[in-house]
Amino acid sequence: MSFSPAFPRMSAITPLPAPPLPGTGDRWALFLDVDGTLLEFADRPDDVRVEPELYALLAELYAHLEGALALVSGRSLAGLDALFGAPPWAMAGLHGLQLRHADGEQRETRISASRRALVLHAAESIAREHPGVLVENKSLAVALHCRAAPVHYEALREAVLALLPGLPGYELQAGNLVLELKPAGMDKGKAVTELLERAPFAGRLPVYLGDDLTDEHGFAATNLENGISVRVGEREPTLAQYTLPGPSSAQAWLQRVLNVLKQGVEPYAHALGGNA
């Protein structure tokens, strides 16, 4: 099933403010969604590119936060590595189904090849009935993108919901013009909680930036830790406490965060590696 929390308020009724900057002595841990948050969407996920300036910004934030920066994405770890050039920071892929800790230790939900093939076949069957819908095989999960054919979104959603009873153990994760069939039981909030239990995130204030419905899990986990939850874009309702208009403003805000950190924090002595 898709995520449908009980929202305490509607941001349309109570406009959200812009997020704050770090204060003196604040020890932040940044958790960043990718598509729609750091990067603008593209019709095809493979068409997205990371500019060198963005990579440099993230690398500097990673250094000044002593490594407490993580990407939390619907993309797979392999896809994130390809996009960001195998960066050194922690990453949660496939909404937390895959996770690479800051020390390089990795875990992944295990799903049999036969079950993955069944889900892929089911998704492809649905896509054939809706021209313009793109099937993305993420191995553990399958996404149906209709950014190039948004008129099909609701019909596609109904078709996927009708299919779910025949796919035990899987759930629908709805997103921005994408519907994803993924193994149940894991989400971005649980990934954030897991990361916060270990160095270098433990004991820090979580700051989560996300744009989509799947990021509401991340907002919820961040709020429970009295952290800072930031919605990027205008999707409503939301559990986020703050908002930024879009990816360009999110990048600009992150640059301001870095400028503040540079005033009082020595860079983390760590070989950054990777390149975008």
> Residues spanned by CATH 3.30.70.1020 within the chain?
113-183
Residues pairing with 131 in the sheet: none
Q: Tell me the three-class secondary structure of 26-45, residue by residue.
A: CCEEEEECCECCCECCCCCH
Q: How far apart are CA 119 and CA 122, in angstroms?
A: 5
Tokens of 170: 């899987």
Could you tell me the pTM of the whole model?
0.85
Tokens of 18: 């812009």
Amino acid letter, residue 190 = K
Q: How far apart are CA 158 and CA 78, in angstroms?
A: 30
Of 26, 33, 35, 215, catalytic: 33
Q: What pLDDT digit, counting tens, does each position of 183-228 carry?
A: 998 999 999 999 999 999 999 999 999 999 999 999 999 999 999 9
pLDDT at 139: 86
Pairing state between β 170-175 and 178-183 = antiparallel
> Residues spanned by CATH 3.40.50.1000 within the chain?
28-105+186-262
State the residue for tokens 């036969």: 114
Q: What is the CATH number of domain 113-183?
A: 3.30.70.1020
Catalytic site includes residue 33: yes
Per-residue buried b or exposed e for 79-105, using 16+ beta carbons within 10 Å of the residue's own CB: bbbebbeebbbbbbbbbbbbbbbbeee
pLDDT at 276: 42
Query: What are the DSSP E strand ranges found in 162-252?
Result: 170-175, 178-183, 205-210, 228-232, 242-244
pLDDT at 268: 55
Q: Give the CATH H-level superfamily of domain 28-105+186-262.
A: HAD superfamily/HAD-like (3.40.50.1000)
Whole-number Cα distances in Å, 4 to 13, 142, 204, 215:
19, 21, 28, 12
Residues of the chain with pLDDT under 50: 1-12, 269-276
pLDDT at 47: 80
Tokens of 64: 């000044």
